[in-house]
Amino acid sequence: MKSLSDALAIIREHQKKLPIQTVDLARDLGLRVFKVPNWPNDLSGMIRKNDENEGGFDIFVNAAHPYVRRRFTIAHEIAHAVLHPQLIGNGITDDALYRSGLSNTVEAQANRLAADILMPRDQLNELIKSGITDIDVLSGKFEVSTQAMAIRLNVPQHDAESRREFA
Ligand SMILES: [Zn+2]
C-alpha cells in the first residue's frame, strides 16, 4: 500500500472533478474492485490482500446494493486500505452498518474518510455558497445517498426525510 501522504495526494487529485470516480481512484491506489452478485443484503463489502500484488488489496462490493450505496462501500474499503492496511490481516468483511470486527473507532475513521473522499468539503462549501442547499440536489452532484449527505451537512435524519416529503 502507498504511504498515507501519497494516498491522500492521489485522493485529492481525483477530487478535482465531481462526482469522484471510486473505481478509478481505487485503481490508482493499487486496489482492484469487484462486484459480487448473490451476496446477502446485509453484507456491504470486503477487503483482502491481493496475492498477485505485494501490498495490494482487492475490494469486493455487493452488486445488489444501489449505485450510491456501492460507491460509499468502495470509499469505505479504500479508507481501510489507506488508514490502517496493517489491520486488514487476512481480510475484513463489512456488514450493512459497516461493522467488521474491527473496533468502532476504526470503523468510524473509515466512514469519516469515506465521506471526505466522496464529499470533499471545499466543493461542498462552494456549492452551498453558490446557493445550492437542497439535499437531493447536492447528493445527486456527489452521487451519494441523501442519507450520507444529510449526515455530512449535520442535518438530523428525520428532518431531511420530512423536508423531502413536504418539498
Ligand atoms: Zn469497515
- Please tell me whether residues 135 and 55 are part of one structural domain: no
Same domain, 7 and 79: yes
Residue 81: all three cell numbers together: 486500505
Q: pTM of the predicted model, to two decimals? A: 0.92
Residues 113, 138 within the same domain? no
Domains held by the chain: number: 2
pLDDT digits (tens, 9 = 90+) for 126-167: 999 999 999 999 999 999 999 999 999 988 766 555 554 443
CA of 74 to the centre of ligand 1 (A): 10
Question: Are 130 and 164 in the same domain?
Answer: yes
> Residue 17 sits in which domain range?
1-118
CA of 164 relative to ligand 1 center, distance in Å: 29
Query: How much distance in Å is there from the Cα of 130 to the middle of ligand 1?
Result: 34
Q: Does the bond joining 40 to the residue before it have cis omega, within 30 degrees of 0?
A: no
Nearest to 163 by CA among 129, 130, 142, 139: 139
Together in a domain, 41 and 7: yes
Q: Which of 102, 118, 134 is the last residue of a domain?
A: 118
62: β partners: 36
**Rama region for 107: left / alpha / beta (φ>0; ψ in -120 to 50; rest):** alpha
Statement to judge: residues 5 and 53 lie in one domain: yes
Query: How many whole angstroms from 98 Cα to the centroid of ligand 1?
Result: 5
- Cα(108) to ligand 1 centroid in Å equals 8
100 with 57, same domain: the answer is yes
Residue list, CB under 5 A from ion ligand 1: 94, 98, 100, 107, 110
79-127 pLDDT, tens digit each: 999 999 999 988 999 999 999 999 999 999 999 999 999 999 999 999 9
Ligand 1 geometric centre to CA of 76 (Å): 6
47: CA distance to ligand 1 center in Å? 9
* Exposed/middle/buried for residue 45 (C-beta within 10 Å: 0-12, 13-18, 19+): buried
CATH number of residue 9's parent domain = 1.10.10
- The per-residue pLDDT for 155 is 84
Whether the CB-CB separation of 119 and 144 falls below 8 Å is answered with: yes
> Cα(151)–Cα(31) distance, rounded to whole angstroms?
27
Burial class of 71 by CB neighbour count within 10 A (0 to 12, 13 to 18, 19+): buried
Distance from the CA of 77 to the center of ligand 1, in angstroms?
Answer: 6
Ligand 1: centre distance to CA 132 (Å): 31
